[in-house]
Amino acid sequence: MSKLKEIINFLKKRNSKIFQLKKNIELTISEIKKKDFSFSESKKFSLIYVGAVFLVLSLFSGGSAKNYIEVEALVCKNDTGKTVYKVERDKITAIGVYSKFTGMNKNLAKGKKELIYQLTSNDNTGFSYTSYNSIYKKNNQMKYDNKKNQMFMDGKKLYDCDRQSSFVEAPKKIKTNAKMSNIKDAFKHAAKYRWASGGMACDLNGGVYNEYSRKYGELFTSNGKPNAGTARRVVNIDKISDHKFKVKIEFYNNAAMFRAYGDMYPVTITEKTFTLVEPDKMTWRSNIKMADYKNLNVVSYTNKSENGTTEICE
């Protein structure tokens, strides 16, 4: 502050007219009205005032234009889904990842820290970074072209992009109006809806989901067609509690390869226990006994256990 005072005092001593702002501006206006375009002292000071104003405004607005890409929400799409990036000077974060395979309303990026990448370059023309593909176990070179507004992977176009000022998650759709306190039979509740299977989108390829009934127990639909099969099935539904039930299905197959089993012994026995944790969500644990294909001459089984979650289809 004292340094600034010293500069002002110095200027006052050198030429006090620079501080006669009102007078200088009035003289400049008067001279211009008279069509006097000579470079007078008052005009010089007026230009200094204008320059000072622009300087102050530029300081408050963050200075000169950025020489790098910075976007709050870079929305990039292709035929299989979309990715929403937050781009900063030195890093890029995938804040939204959506796939038609799992459903365009399901954000696969939530809670995944590995979707934060350090940029290897970032300027006005675009930015680039390296992304590791855990499936193919290789690094992919990602590059965004600012002029084309496109994202490339290993030199090939991956997405068309759109720069947006913000990103807001789509509101979660209400799948059921039922309340846990009002549900007294979880199986009857489950039988009213279609349920997601294997984490896939329910509308994938015409329809992929499970349905529950006393006739089939659990019936899987793919490509929009129920897969009831031709094998005879015996279904048993047990109510364990208001929010828990078990589905047991025995499949019989008297084909020649299952001669040892005939029509007396099931070739597959599935016991699946469901727990309703929310009106639109169940956890499940299954035990599967299957005919031992390595020894079909006698009745013997292999065992496999699985667990997972499922939700009502949107």
In a domain, 153, yes or no: yes
Rounded to an integer, the average pLDDT of 171-177 is 89
The least confident of 130-144, 225-239, 265-279 is: 130-144
Pairwise CA distance, residues 241 & 299, whole Å: 34
Range with the poorest average pLDDT among 18-32, 141-155, 222-236:
18-32
Amino acid (one-letter) located at 58? S
Distance CA 43, CA 49 (A): 10
**What pLDDT is attached to residue 115?**
85
**Is residue 80 scored above 70 in pLDDT?**
yes
Secondary element (H or E) of residue 26: helix 21-33
Domain limits for position 52: 13-60
Does 135 have pLDDT greater than 50?
Answer: yes
80 shares a domain with 36: no
Instruction: Give the model's pLDDT for residue 310.
Output: 97
Domain boundary pick from 60, 81, 97: 60
Residues 265, 228: contact at Cβ < 8 Å? Answer: no
Q: Is the pLDDT of residue 56 over 80?
A: no
The answer to whether residue 283 is domain-embedded is yes
Question: How many domains does the chain fold into?
Answer: 3
Does residue 102 sit in the same domain as residue 51?
A: no
Of 69, 68, 16, 17, nearest to 40 by C-alpha is: 17
Please indicate, yes or no, if residue 17 is contained in any of the structural domains: yes
pLDDT at 257: 86
Q: Are 310 and 197 in contact (CB under 8 A)?
A: yes
Q: Are residues 31 and 76 in the same domain?
A: no
Do residues 189 and 298 share a domain?
yes
Instruction: Answer yes or no: do 55 and 75 share one domain.
Output: no
- Please check whether residues 130 and 222 belong to one and the same domain: no
Element (H, E) at 12: helix 2-14
Q: 198: left (phi > 0), else alpha (psi -120 to 50), else beta?
A: left
Checking phi first, is residue 88 left (phi over 0); if not, alpha (psi -120 to 50) or beta?
A: beta
Asked if residue 230 and residue 281 are part of one domain, the reply reads: yes
In a shared domain, residues 106 and 45: no
Q: Note whether residue 4 is domain-resident.
A: no
* Cβ neighbours of 165 (radius 10 Å): 7
264 within a domain of the structure (yes/no): yes
Mean pLDDT, rounded, of the chain: 86
Instruction: Indicate if 84 and 203 belong to the same structural domain.
Output: no
- CA torsion through residues 98, 101, 103, 107, sign: negative
Q: Which of 129, 182, 121 is nearest to 152 (CA)?
A: 129
Considering the domain boundaries, does residue 84 fall inside one? yes
Do 140 and 97 sit in the same domain of this protein? Answer: yes
Question: Are 284 and 215 within one domain?
Answer: yes
Residue 266 is part of a domain; what is its CATH number? 2.40.128
| Sole residue written with tokens 């329809």 | 207
Residues 212 and 284 in one domain: yes
Instruction: Read off the pLDDT of residues 251-296 as tens digits, 9 standing for 90 and up.
Output: 998 788 888 998 899 999 999 999 999 999 999 999 999 999 999 9
Burial level of 96, CB count in 10 A (0-12/13-18/19+)? buried
pLDDT at 235: 98
Q: Is residue 7 part of a domain?
A: no
For the beta carbon of residue 195, count every other beta carbon within 10 angstroms: 20
Dmax over CA atoms of the chain, in Å, equals 115
172 inside domain: no
